[in-house]
Amino acid sequence: MKVTRGDTDGIPVLKLDGEFDSFETDLVREAFEACLQAGSRDVVLDLGAMTFANSTTIAYFITAQKRATASGGRLVLARPRDFIVKTLATLGLDQVFSISETVEAAVNELRPA
């Protein structure tokens, strides 16, 4: 797994590239927490290059959602592949997470009104 941070209009975008399993959780957590510690309240997770996910991945998404909300912010999942969309829908989590088809749409959702 490779995690790359970019910023679009001041909103951090973490691109997750590769397999996200229990061995990669700390890497993703550290990048996400660094965004919050730097003062960002909102974060986009770009999932377009993520090739594998398991229950650990879904559990981490829930944790990240809670952390963002506790910080007064929001988390948006951008460009999830079909297997993630289907898994989230099966678990009813598509109603919990904000999901966008593009990074641009995710950033637009998070822009202040």
- The residues spanned by each domain of the chain are 2-105
Distances (CA, A) of 90 to 29, 36, 39, 95: 25, 30, 34, 11
Share of the chain above pLDDT 90, in %: 97
- Looking at residues 7-14, what average pLDDT do you find? 96
Q: If pLDDT is split at 50, 70 and 90, which confidence band does 112 have?
A: confident
Please give the model's pTM, rounded to 2 decimal places: 0.96
Mean pLDDT of 33-57: 96
Is 24's pLDDT higher than 80?
Answer: yes
The count of other CB atoms within 10 Å of the CB of residue 68 is 20
Identify the band that residue 16 occupies on the pLDDT scale cut at 50, 70 and 90.
very high
Report the CATH superfamily, name and number, of domain 2-105. STAS domain (3.30.750.24)
